[in-house]
Chain A
Amino acid sequence: MTKFLVLTRHDSELDVPPMDQWDPADMTAHLEYLTRLNDELAAHGELVEMNALAAPELAKTVSADGRSTPVITDGPFPEAKEVLAGYQLLDVESEERALEIAALVSSAPGPDGVPLRQRIEVRQVMWSRSDEM
């Protein structure tokens, strides 16, 4: 089994308004689709964890040299071309399976039920450490 991180970004290149401007019914359909997908992956024993991230308005960027006070700036902002929205950590049989799941995430329905076709980044995990498991 191999672990893959499946990253979903809000992509401003897509011709889709931000989610807070969607019809509530479309939003519900979108979330139900993803919930169902994650439930199925969990039932298969393929979903290690899933996290949706808070809005980029709350994001902070930190840089430090280890001596002086760290420099903390706000952002990245939603105007940024791509903003990380959430991720799933999968533990699957093969890369093909991870890509298949990413395709299902990508085709989640958007406004009027049209598949969003978000570009999903799939990254293989190289090294893990977990104190809880």
Chain B
Amino acid sequence: MTTPDALEDLLRELAPQVLGVVIRRYGDFVLAEDAVQEALIAATTHWRRDGVPENPRGWLLQTAGHKLTDIHRSEQARRRRERSATVDASLDAGLDAGLDAGLDAGPEAADTDDTLRLLFLCCHPALTPASAVALTLRAVGGLTTAEIARAFLVPEATMAQRISRAKQTLAGETFGMPSSDERAQRLLAVLKVLYLMFNEGYAATAGDDLVRVDLATEATRLTRMLAAAVPGDGEVTGLLALMLLTDARRPARTGPVGELVPLAEQHRSLWNREQIAEGVVLVTRAMAGGVVGEYQLQAAIAAAHDTASSAEQTDWKQILRLYGLLAKVVDSPVVTLNRAVAAAMVHGPAVGLELLEPLDEQLKGSYRLDAVRGHLYEMLGDDERAAEHFRRAARRTTSLPEQRYLTGKAALRRR
């Protein structure tokens, strides 16, 4: 007996493989993606009732082929209604021939390449990041529109429009590998989309967690697939490590009523040791490669926190060094902010506060700057200033658990 979870895992694993074959066979990403989505939905019903077929991949390919024929025929019927066009009989015959070929489809060698091609397509620079995330979840992740909509707490119709629009944007794109000049750039775009997906899940505070598809887990799974497709890429490995090392702390990150628990106060026994061990191995291997990018550095910082036996044991000197390197790779105010925290831990809060000064312009109105100042004044023992910054941060955050936490800090410091 296949459990519903195992069945869904199988379907999601097969989804990009089947889609890759269908696109290569029929050439049209937009229709192929619709057909595969319908085949996946059909499989969920049939397999749950009758059990998983002997050749699940062949079953999906065949069903997707049938669905594609249906889509084509209704499309033609629609066109006939609109203007009396002649039936494109040869296309129809071609589809049927392709369908028969689908029946005996064995495993094909191009699977990991197809996954990679699909990721390149779905994370295309012509798409907005949010559309790319949604489309990737559907076409590569094998999630239904309804599941994606639930994950983002929007109605299914809204998500369907977003995905369909994203697909239309890609209508003219070919299903191929970008040229070698373009490849590195496009790979970075894929990493960015996967990281955004992860953060969307990690930062999620809205709604009922039980019904949400876990975006952080899904992003990690897709990054793992990407890592299998481009073995030896330091940044891909680095991103996978970063996700594992960050997600490992999740069980300790919130308390019993959903309140935020800061890193220093987390029960480290709750951290996921297996994920930490894998993440550390991955980041170590990635960084041995020589060229060190932003995800590897962030993963190394996460590893430094995750491997400290207590908050007091944290190697802040090492973390400060890593932030120094990160600042050379990405010059962003958020990196400066984190670096100031590390500097405060090594050299004292006054040094940290000084490093924050140039951020008043760049991070104008950001609650994070006030939150960090609150902590640094707290370290200095200036409770009045600390409370004032915590209060300001609490008013500006858009996360409810953060707001509760910051309000609590402000109240504590005012006493």
Which residues in A have some Cβ–Cβ distance to B below 8 Å?
Answer: 1-3, 42-49, 91, 93, 124, 126-133
Contacts and interface: CB of A to CB of B under 8 A. Distances in A.
Contacts of A2: 398
User: Which residue, A43, A93, A133, has most C-beta atoms of chain B within 10 A?
Assistant: A133
Contacts of B330: none
Contacts of B149: 133
B161 A42 contact: yes
B158 A42 contact: yes
Nearest to A42: B161
B206 A1 contact: no
A127 B154 contact: no
Nearest to B205: A127
Interface string B375-407: 000000000000000000000001110010000
B208 interface: yes
> A-B pairs with the 7 shortest C-beta distances?
A45-B162, A45-B161, A128-B206, A127-B400, A1-B130, A128-B153, A91-B154
Main secondary structure of the interface of A (DSSP, over half): loop
A128 B209 CA distance: 11
B159 interface: yes
Contacts of B130: 1, 93
Contacts of B205: 127
A128 B155 CA distance: 13
22 contacts: A1-B130, A1-B152, A1-B154, A1-B200, A2-B398, A42-B157, A42-B158, A43-B161, A43-B165, A45-B131, A45-B159, A45-B163, A47-B158, A91-B158, A126-B403, A128-B153, A128-B207, A129-B207, A129-B208, A133-B154, A133-B155, A133-B207
A11 B159 CA distance: 34
A45 B403 contact: no
A132 to B, nearest CB: 8
Interface of B: 128-131, 149-150, 152-163, 165, 200, 205-208, 398-400, 403
A17 to B, nearest CB: 36
Contacts, number: 61
B154 A48 contact: yes
B161 A133 contact: no
B385 to A, nearest CB: 26
A122 B162 CA distance: 22
B160 to A, nearest CB: 8
B154 A129 contact: no
A1 B130 CA distance: 6
B159 A126 contact: no
Contacts of A131: 208
Contact of B206 (A48, A49, A129): A129
Given A93-B128, A133-B150, A133-B155, A45 B207 contact: no
Q: Which residue of A1, A46, A47 has the most chain B CB atoms within 10 A of its CB atom?
A: A1
